[in-house]
Every structure is written in C-alpha cells, then in structure tokens.
C-alpha cells in the first residue's frame, strides 16, 4: 500500500528469514512465498529463480552496507584510522545482523550461481573501498609503496571473512568481535612482529 515494491521487499525479507533458518538448499520457494504473503508464482515476477533471490539479498544489503562503510571511513581523518574504521564496520555488521551474516557467510556460498556466475558489482565495490584506502595511503606515503592494493584488499577481506564465518558458526562466540577488529587492524597496520626489531636483520642482535 504505502510502499512501492512492497511485495519485492516482503519477499526478500521473508527469504532472509527462511534462508537463515533452513539453509539455502532446504529453503522452499513456497515457504518464502508464504512468509511474504504472496503466491508462489508471484516470486517469479520479481526474481528469476531461487538463486536470484539470494543474490539480490546480497546486492541490496551490500549497497546499504557499502554506503555505511563509506561514511565510517570518511569520518576518520587518517588512513590507519580509516582502515580501522572499515574493519570495525565490517565486523559490527556481522555482529548486529546475525541473520544476514548467516546468509552472507554460509548460505550464499552454497549457491553455485553465486560462486561461479556472480557478476554483480557490489562485492567488487566493497573490496575497492579497501583497495582505495591502500592506494590513498601509498600516495600519502603512509603505506609502503610495494604493497599491491589488489592483493591487500583480498588479504584483508579474507581475514575478516574468515573471522566472520567462525563467529557465525560458533553460535556461542568465544571472542569479542570488537576486540578482534582491533587486533586485525593492528596486524595489518603494524604486522604481528615487534617493530623495534628489524625482521630483515633477524631476531638476534
């Protein structure tokens, strides 16, 4: 009534719930339809198929999330603070959206279509937030020039993703994600080693 695309939104919302609860493969389209209060066939007016629902959830939530991450980055002035802000935003999202996180970390990867045919732009866009941070830092001379932004963005994303997945899998979470965020930021910014000691020269004097 009040919203355009009312049904589309309702379908997506219902799908997140069902996917998180049953898993992608066990989720029945009929159940999503029921949850959304539409007929089974109606779903196919808005989405090409079950995989596309999943991918749409990803794309659309990512769009929102990218905007938020972007804002968080902008609110920091220095590169290291920006990267730290990014990392925090990433893990905060996981912590604050457990259902979506379940879908992103676990269910999404079970869709062949997503893994092997995903051509959407949001993931790339998200990764580029990191890539651009690195590049910017290099221009400022804060980040080493030999760092390959295209690799660094994958490494940082991969680290966050893995930690996020563990957090989702271990429903009773041993570690605090906020603390983890800080540690991960430290690792990437300063490395795991004691800076005083030149690693090149070795640990011994």
Partner DNA sequence: GATGAATGAGCGTTCATTCAT
Partner DNA sequence: AATGAATGAACGCTCATTCAT
149: its two tokens: 């932004």
Tell me the per-residue interface mask from 80 to 99 with DNA, x by CB under 7 A, - otherwise.
Answer: --------------------
* Residue in the block written with tokens 């993703």: 161
Nearest to 160 by CA among 104, 77, 80: 104
Cα 195 to Cα 83, 107, 160, 182, 190, distances in angstroms = 19, 40, 23, 17, 7
Residues between 47 and 76 with contacts to a second copy, criterion CB under 8 A: none
Q: How many angstroms separate the CA atoms of 72 and 17, rounded?
A: 28
Residue 67's binding partner, choosing from a second copy, DNA, none, with beta-carbon cut-off 5 to 8 A by kind? none
Stretch that binds a second copy, among 36-44, 46-54, 93-101, 155-163 (CB under 8 A): 155-163
Could you give the CA distance from residue 205 to residue 36 in angstroms, rounded to a whole number?
A: 67
**How far is residue 164's CA from residue 98's CA, in Å, rounded to a whole number?**
10
Among DNA, a second copy, none, residue 202 binds (CB under 5-8 Å by kind): a second copy
Binding segment (CB under 7 A) for DNA, from list 49-57, 58-66, 180-188, 195-203: 49-57
Q: Which two tokens stand for residue 119?
A: 């051509």
Q: Which does 59 bind (CB under 5 to 8 A by kind): a second copy, DNA, none?
A: none
* Count of beta carbons in the 10 Å neighbourhood of residue 193: 10
**Residue 158 engages DNA in binding (rule: CB under 7 A):** no
- 203 binds a second copy, rule: CB under 8 A: yes
Please identify which residue in the block is written with the tokens 């939530």. 61
- Interface residues toward DNA, by CB under 7 A: 7, 26-30, 38-46, 49-51
- Interface residues toward a second copy, by CB under 8 A: 23, 25-26, 78-80, 106, 109-110, 112, 115-116, 134, 137, 140-144, 146-148, 150-152, 154-163, 166, 169, 175, 180, 183-184, 186-195, 197, 199, 202-203
């Amino acid at each position: 009534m009040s919203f355009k695309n009312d049904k589309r939104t309702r379908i997506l919302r219902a799908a997140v719930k069902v996917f998180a609860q049953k898993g992608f493969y066990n989720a029945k389209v009929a159940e999503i339809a029921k949850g959304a209060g539409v007929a089974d066939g109606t779903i196919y007016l808005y989405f090409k198929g079950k995989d596309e629902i999943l991918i749409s959830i990803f794309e659309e939530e990512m769009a929102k999330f990218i905007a938020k991450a972007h804002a968080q980055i902008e609110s920091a002035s220095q590169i290291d603070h920006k990267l730290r802000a990014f990392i925090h935003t990433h893990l905060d999202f996981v912590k604050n959206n457990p259902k979506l996180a379940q879908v992103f970390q676990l269910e999404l990867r079970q869709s062949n279509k997503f893994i092997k045919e995903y051509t959407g732009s949001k993931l790339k866009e998200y990764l580029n937030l990191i890539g651009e941070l690195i590049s910017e830092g290099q221009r400022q001379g804060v980040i080493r020039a030999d760092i390959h932004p295209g690799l660094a963005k994958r490494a940082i994303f991969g680290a966050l993703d893995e930690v996020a997945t563990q957090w989702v899998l271990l429903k009773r979470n041993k570690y605090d994600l906020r603390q983890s965020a800080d540690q991960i930021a430290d690792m990437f910014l300063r490395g795991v080693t004691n800076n005083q000691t030149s690693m090149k020269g070795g640990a011994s004097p």
